[in-house]
Structure 1
Amino acid sequence: MKTIVGTLIVMLLPALALGEGRPVAPNGIPLIEGYRNWQVIAPSYRDDKGHIRLIFGNGTAIKAMKEGTRPFPDGTVMAKVAWTAVKHPKFPVATIPDRFVQVEFMVKDAAKYKATGGWGFARFVGENLKPYGRDAGFVQECFGCHTPVKGNDYVFTGFASVP
């Protein structure tokens, strides 16, 4: 019986590691469950896209942000959720999130993602969370955008100040 159970566990581990039942980006990064329970690092707004964004960090990311640790340690994960922006119907001077657009992840593993500054990237688009990119090469698009902030370990976001 122990042998059968052990064999089943060995067979299931790869499926669990790949995010079985969750969408998986072409580079193998699955949609990371529970990211909405992480602490908020900061909001942002992209004029060119008209998107309101909210950046979350796992515990490792939050600790590194608070301590100013650069480069970020392996295990750091950040999630950026984007919505279209609309004026509040009852208070039109306020802009609020409307339609969900996408969620993006940055996963720090200096050895695994050496070619992209130590970061793995993944994007899941629309309500059906469709993985972005035809193949694993899509990460060059992500990494290209992040190169201007190489001095901050390729991360645009900093902790939003709150007294």
Structure 2
Amino acid sequence: MSKTELLASTVVLLAISAAAASGLTGEASPIYGVRVPEGYREWRLITVSHEAGKNNDIRAVLGNDIATNAFREGTRPFPDGTIIARLAYVYESSPENDKVFPAPQSFVAGDPTNVQFSVKDSKKYADTGGWGYGQFENGVANPSEPLIKSCFACHMKLDPSTDYVFSHYSP
């Protein structure tokens, strides 16, 4: 192996090691470079929500340990290293569940639609309130730059005292 090939191999290994050490894996989202955090499905539940209207979905909001502690303690702004995950599912009625009730009333999470991540790094994302965003469908980053650019445009409409986060902790 030539010195050039050895150097190239070392650079690749270091990049892979850095990504693994950060816990962020897979394809990066456009603009912010956010990746799917390893093990995010094991994070603690922050809250759930139902988005009516055009989306009409149900959402589980999860947080890594830094996010969970900040939500519980009311720490704002959120500390660097906070990662918030929003898992969205089709909001649908459950005919199976409704069979046991006197009237249709049961709604459940249907097929998944997407997963979004908000990552706090006040230096890296200084231009967007310290937050970087990513959206993924079936584990693949949504390549739409206009969609990803719209994340902070929407979040910045919130009261700055929320640190541009929609969710509230539901104990």
TM-score (norm 1): 0.84
Partner of 2:153: 144
Which whole-Å CA distance do the structure 1 matches of 2:9 and 2:130 have between them?
33
Q: Percent identity?
A: 35
Contact 1:18 1:24 in 2 (8 A): no
* Deviates most, 139-148 or 151-160: 139-148
Which whole-Å CA distance do the structure 1 matches of 2:150 and 2:25 have between them?
26
Q: Deviations over 1:62-111 (max 9, x none)?
A: 11111111000000000000000111122231110111100000000000
> Match for 2:43 among 38, 55, 59?
38
1:24 aligns with 2:24: no
Which whole-Å CA distance do the structure 2 matches of 1:96 and 1:41 have between them?
18
Partner of 2:116: 104
Q: Deviations over 1:13-63 (max 9, x none)?
A: 223445797222113211112111000000001002110000000000011
1:10, CA displacement in angstroms?
4.9
Question: How is 1:47-86 mapped onto 2 (pairs within 5 angstroms)?
Answer: 47-48=52-53, 49-86=55-92
> Match for 1:132 among 135, 142, 155?
142
Q: Count residues with an aligned counterpart.
A: 154
Which whole-Å CA distance do the structure 2 matches of 1:134 and 1:146 have between them?
18
The 3 A distance-change label for structure 1 pair 71 and 81 is same
Partner of 1:153: 163
1:88 aligns with 2:94: yes
Which whole-Å CA distance do the structure 2 matches of 1:143 and 1:104 have between them?
13
The alignment's C-alpha RMSD in Å is: 2.3
Partner of 1:12: 13
Q: Which runs of 5+ in 1 are unaligned?
A: none
Read off the aligned partner of 1:59 and give its amino acid letter.
D
Read off the aligned partner of 1:123 and give its amino acid letter.
Q
Contact 2:19 2:25 in 1 (8 A): no
Name the larger-Rg structure.
2
Which whole-Å CA distance do the structure 2 matches of 1:107 and 1:51 have between them?
22
Q: Deviations over 1:130-160 (max 9, x none)?
A: 312334x643200011112222000010111
TM-score (norm 2): 0.80
The 3 A distance-change label for structure 1 pair 11 and 90 is closer
Which whole-Å CA distance do the structure 2 matches of 1:76 and 1:132 have between them?
22
